[in-house]
Structure 1
Amino acid sequence: MKRLLIFGYGNPGRGDDVLGLLCVEKTVLSECENVSCRSDMQLLVEHVTDLQGQDEVIFVDADVSCTEPFVFSTICAQKDDSYTSHALTPAALLYVYQLVYQRDAPAAFLLRIRGYNFALGDRLSEKAAKNLELAIRFIDRRYKHSRVLFD
């Protein structure tokens, strides 16, 4: 049986930036025994250990520039400017995984959920909440009955 990690990140104190965290919290996939869910405010080099033993990873984040309601795309390991930073992009984290473990990173996807309000103290906007609902439905449908999880 394949293992799936859903990793949401964002800042709950900045309005719609909480979308990644809420997606992880609300997905029904968290009830599946071969699905792991993790969340944090940002991706750090230490999260490379969370990828170990996973066959697939979905990174979930809020995005002010993607199309509504969300964009789901494949990502690959890639060294970028965040590689030397305290916070990494998903592609850079996959790159670090390859360096540390000397093998290919798990298959990975990025789910960017359209957000609108990111100021300190903002609450989740109604439009972002609707986008979140659609993104959760997409993930749950894509994986709940998928061969990815149950073969």
Structure 2
Amino acid sequence: MRPLTSKPVLLLALGNESRGDDALGPLLARRLHAWLTSTGRDSAVEIIEEFQLQIEHTLDLKGRDLVLFVDAGEGTRPPFDFFAARAGATVGYTTHAVAPEALLGLYARVHAAAPPPAFILCLAGEGFELGEPLSATAATHLEAGFTFCQRLFDSPSLPSWQASCNEPIHVGRTPIA
């Protein structure tokens, strides 16, 4: 059961705008927020921007019907990968960043319940150095990701999102932390 204050869909956008293409997550989140607001879909979607995931984000997952993690990735198939996230091993107590799969595993452990269905949209990036601007290539991937997300949020349901996956399970490609 979802708490009264939470929206059924959560988008967690990750990235650092000071590191070139790592800005893809926050930039996409802002575009989507404007579009969701203009179309009246914002009542169903909460957007949170962060530099990186922390264990406290398990509380943000509670009561959600769907979760979408958005991040930039190095070595990602252009323009992006979209796949279901599976709960993975939990993190140690000294880590500063948590992978989406680890966050889902931690959620199951902390809340003694299955995490909500979650997906990862990993936008292909190529430059992540401090002080770099967004690359022209990443800007085109941002546009493709925005168009793709419009379709996702036109039909925010588990079967629809599963049908949109380009991989059955996340294997090997890691978003930039």
**What is the number of residues matched between the two proteins?**
146
Quote the Cα distance in structure 2 between the aligned partners of 1:32 and 1:138. Answer: 17
SS at match of 2:43: coil
Q: Which amino acid aligns with 1:33?
A: S
Partner of 2:45: 35
| 1:100 maps to 2:79 | no
SS at match of 1:23: helix
Identical pairs, percent: 38
Quote the Cα distance in structure 2 between the aligned partners of 1:99 and 1:114. Answer: 31
- The within-5 A match list for 1:1-150 is 3-27=8-32, 28-29=35-36, 31-79=41-89, 83-84=91-92, 85-144=95-154, 146=155, 148=157
Partner of 2:162: none
Report how far residue 124 of structure 1 moved: 0.5
Report how far residue 16 of structure 1 moved: 0.3
Q: Which runs of structure 1 show a deviation greater than 3 angstroms over 4 or more consecutive aligned residues?
A: none
The unaligned stretches of length 5 or more in structure 2 are 159-177
Quote the Cα distance in structure 1 between the aligned partners of 2:135 and 2:96. Answer: 29
Quote the Cα distance in structure 1 between the aligned partners of 2:81 and 2:16. Answer: 20
Structure 2 length-normalised TM = 0.78
Q: Which amino acid aligns with 1:36?
A: E
Report how far residue 29 of structure 1 moved: 3.3
Quote the Cα distance in structure 1 between the aligned partners of 2:156 and 2:14. Answer: 26
Quote the Cα distance in structure 1 between the aligned partners of 2:132 and 2:142. Answer: 16
CA RMSD of aligned residues (A): 1.8
